[in-house]
Amino acid sequence: MIKGYYHSKLSFGTVDGPGIRYVLFLAGCRMGCAFCHNPDTWAKGEQTITAAEVLQEMEEYRNFYESSGGGLTVSGGEPLMQPEFLADLLTAAKQRGFHTAIDTCGLASKEAIMQVLPYVDRVLFSLKGSTDACYQLLTKAKFSLIKENLALVVRRKPVTLRYVLIPGYTAGKESLAELIRLVHSLSGDIEVEVLPYHTMGIAKWEALGWDYPLKDVPEPTKEELTDFRNSLRQAGIKLAATEN
């Protein structure tokens, strides 16, 4: 039986896909985001779980998931770091009739993505910026690879593109223009969810004895968030239902 390394789990998640969801946060991530609010998920750790154990827990709350249009979301860390377990879990969930979603940053091999996609109903794709410069400053990944993988996913599955608005990094006019250009270049079912940057992860960085790289960066104002979303709408980009 395949075991997955995980960090934590939620039985009643409401922000990681449609409806009420069981959210499994897998352990391990190589993205190294400077603004990560869960840096404790980067390490693989020793906690393990099986698909059977997840589904046994989900059955207890099946009525809530089905009545709300919810299901299972596998997040992280980066779930695509464990493609064998992820495919096993999603396959079993689909067989039980649950809606499935993954939350990925896109830092994965194309082989891992293709191994998992057949069993996914929706992909939550977390974009860490819209320019090469942003990815160089904020992550350990190359933006070119992320864009390739995003295009690969969008051609095959409905995608919610999650974009964190960070003043001084991802919120400027250039970032907005590049995001619009990127979304317009993609062919498929795609919506954008603009998430405000927040500083709630600082305590976790400090608990780990790490210096938080963006400690002097303010959270965006409501006006900045509204203006950014409105600019996307005016460009003909579909926003997620949570944005309306």
- pLDDT for 199: 92
Buried residues in 165-194 as b, exposed as e (16+ CB within 10 A) = bbbebbbbeebbebbbebbeebeeebbbbb
Q: What is the number of structural domains in the chain? A: 1
- pLDDT for 243: 64
* SS3 label, residue 58: helix
Q: What is the pLDDT of residues 97-138, one digit of tens each?
A: 999 999 999 999 999 999 999 999 999 999 999 999 999 999
In sequence order, what are the residues at sequence separation of 6 or more whose Cβ sits closer than 8 angstroms to the Cβ of residue 36?
Answer: 29, 42, 201
> 99 forms bridges with which residues in the sheet?
71
Asked if residues 106 and 140 have their Cβ atoms less than 8 Å apart, the reply is no
Asked if pLDDT for residue 177 goes beyond 60, the answer is yes
Domain that holds residue 62: 3-243
Cα 31 → chain centroid = 12
Asked if pLDDT for residue 200 goes beyond 80, the answer is yes
Q: What is the pLDDT of residues 17-70, one digit of tens each?
A: 999 999 999 999 999 999 999 999 999 999 999 999 999 999 999 999 999 999
Which letter does DSSP use for residue 212 in this model? Answer: -
User: What percentage of the chain carries pLDDT values higher than 70?
Assistant: 99
Q: What is the pLDDT of residues 208-236, one digit of tens each?
A: 999 999 999 999 999 999 999 999 999 99
CATH value at residue 42:
3.20.20.70
- pLDDT for 1: 86
What size, in residues, is the chain?
Answer: 244
- pLDDT for 109: 97
How does residue 241 score in pLDDT terms, banded at 50, 70 and 90? confident
- pLDDT for 75: 98
- pTM for the predicted model, two decimal places: 0.96
Q: Which helix (H) or strand (E) holds 176?
A: helix 173-185
Asked if residues 138 and 168 have their Cβ atoms less than 8 Å apart, the reply is no
Structure tokens at 129: 């910026």
CA distance linking residue 101 with residue 63, whole number of Å: 18
Asked if pLDDT for residue 76 goes beyond 60, the answer is yes
E strand map for the chain: 3-13, 21-26, 48-50, 71-75, 99-104, 122-127, 159-165, 190-196
